[in-house]
């Protein structure tokens, strides 16, 4: 590690000064974030900069790095600055039209894979955003085909690009629409990370989320449950008998969302926790012989 004694214009000097600025702005992992941005500016993997404190930073890279640092100090998410984010085993393009994929959401993929690994099947992702959930499941189920739906046409275009980026374009389709209103099909698995933040709580979110991610993907109504009410009503129509749905939850929402699903005849099969121990992924099933279910 550099003590800021490296010569001006070198990797070590840039990382040290940037780390100090990021630390002063209360940004976690300041040295790592500085290295990620400098690596991107120099067109190198961040690991390539380790042990190279005295490597000169080209002027154009220095200019690009300074611009990135200003954006991060303004609390723009690092993923948006870099233009991509890792999720599951995938690398995904990101933009301000969707939420940035988070490691917490990988709990939904784990929950889906714990159910079964069919040779084939149809998967639906409602509110697909970057396509991260659908594409992660398709990467593990090589015989499956998936449909992702998002209210935003820009998000649907982004998800299509991510499918191509990860070689999954032939097994996926992405549409713009209001939830599943335009769909007349049934699926083996339905995934969704709906908006679930209470309207009144949005102003108190960290600035990276509050100021840079789309409000429509955050705002779940006065109690945070508006989207779940709609999903609970349409899932019986969308799921095949014996099919499963996995819904992302906010903190403390498991009981309320379970009750909404149960009221529509769906069987709650449990929750999968994220790495922080939060009940994050609710797993529900449409029972066999459930033709009388609503929808």
Q: Which tens digits make up the pLDDT trace of 118-177?
A: 678 999 999 999 999 999 999 999 999 999 999 999 999 999 999 999 999 999 999 999
Nearest to 146 by CA among 159, 154, 155: 159
Per-residue pLDDT band at 294 (split at 50, 70, 90): very low
CA distances for 148 relative to 15, 19, 73, 126, 139, angstroms:
40, 39, 34, 6, 14
Q: Flag whether 29 is marked binding.
A: no
Model pLDDT for residues 65-112, shown as the tens digit of each residue:
999 999 999 999 999 999 999 999 999 999 999 999 999 999 999 999
Statement: residue 21 has pLDDT above 80: yes
Residues contacting residue 100 through CB under 8 Å, at least 6 positions apart: 77, 79, 80, 85, 94, 213
Q: Flag whether 130 is marked binding.
A: yes
Q: Residue 133's pLDDT is what?
A: 98
Q: Flag whether 63 is marked binding.
A: no
CA–CA separation, 76 and 185 (whole Å):
39
Statement: residue 295 has pLDDT above 60: no
In terms of DSSP H, where are the helices of the chain? 11-24, 30-42, 59-73, 78-82, 106-115, 132-140, 153-165, 207-210, 226-238, 254-263
φ, ψ for residue 107 (rounded to 5)? -60, -30
CA–CA separation, 6 and 31 (whole Å):
15
46-62 mean pLDDT: 90
Q: Flag whether 195 is marked binding.
A: yes
Q: Flag whether 162 is marked binding.
A: no
What rounded mean pLDDT belongs to the chain? 93
Q: Flag whether 289 is marked binding.
A: no
When mean pLDDT is compared across 37-41, 52-56, 58-62, the lowest value belongs to 52-56
Neighbours of 178 (CB within 10 A): 11
CA–CA separation, 134 and 122 (whole Å):
11
- Residue 225 DSSP class: -
3-class DSSP state of 6: coil
Q: Flag whether 193 is marked binding.
A: yes
Q: Flag whether 150 is marked binding.
A: yes
Per-residue pLDDT band at 1 (split at 50, 70, 90): very low
Q: Flag whether 194 is marked binding.
A: yes
CA–CA separation, 192 and 146 (whole Å):
13
Model pLDDT for residues 209-249, shown as the tens digit of each residue:
999 999 999 999 999 999 999 999 999 999 999 999 999 99
CA distances for 29 relative to 24, 118, 170, 281, angstroms:
12, 40, 38, 27
Q: Flag whether 221 is marked binding.
A: no
Q: Flag whether 43 is marked binding.
A: no
């Amino acid at each position: 590690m550099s003590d800021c004694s490296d010569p001006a214009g070198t990797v070590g000097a840039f990382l040290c000064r940037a780390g100090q600025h990021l630390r002063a702005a209360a940004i976690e992992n300041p040295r790592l974030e500085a290295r990620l941005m400098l690596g991107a500016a120099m067109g190198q993997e961040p690991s390539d900069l380790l042990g190279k404190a005295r490597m000169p930073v080209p002027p154009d890279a220095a200019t690009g790095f300074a611009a990135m640092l200003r954006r991060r100090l303004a609390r723009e998410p690092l993923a948006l600055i870099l233009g991509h984010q890792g999720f599951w085993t995938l690398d995904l393009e990101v933009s301000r039209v969707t939420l940035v994929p988070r490691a917490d959401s990988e709990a939904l993929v784990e929950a889906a894979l714990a159910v079964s690994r069919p040779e084939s099947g149809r998967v639906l992702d409602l509110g697909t955003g970057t396509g991260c959930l659908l594409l992660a499941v398709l990467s593990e189920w090589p015989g499956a085909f998936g449909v992702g739906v998002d209210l935003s046409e820009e998000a649907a275009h982004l998800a299509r690009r991510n499918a191509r980026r990860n070689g999954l374009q032939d097994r996926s389709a992405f549409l713009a629409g209001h939830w599943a209103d335009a769909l007349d099909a049934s699926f083996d698995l339905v995934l969704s990370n709906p908006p679930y933040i209470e309207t009144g709580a949005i102003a108190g979110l960290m600035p990276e989320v509050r100021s840079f991610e789309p409000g429509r993907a955050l705002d779940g109504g006065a109690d945070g449950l508006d989207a779940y009410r709609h999903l609970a009503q349409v899932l019986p129509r969308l799921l095949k008998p014996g099919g499963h749905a996995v819904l992302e939850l906010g903190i403390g929402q498991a009981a309320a969302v379970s009750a909404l699903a149960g009221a529509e005849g769906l069987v709650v099969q449990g929750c999968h926790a994220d790495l922080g121990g939060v009940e994050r992924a609710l797993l529900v099933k449409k029972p066999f012989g459930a033709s009388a279910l609503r929808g």
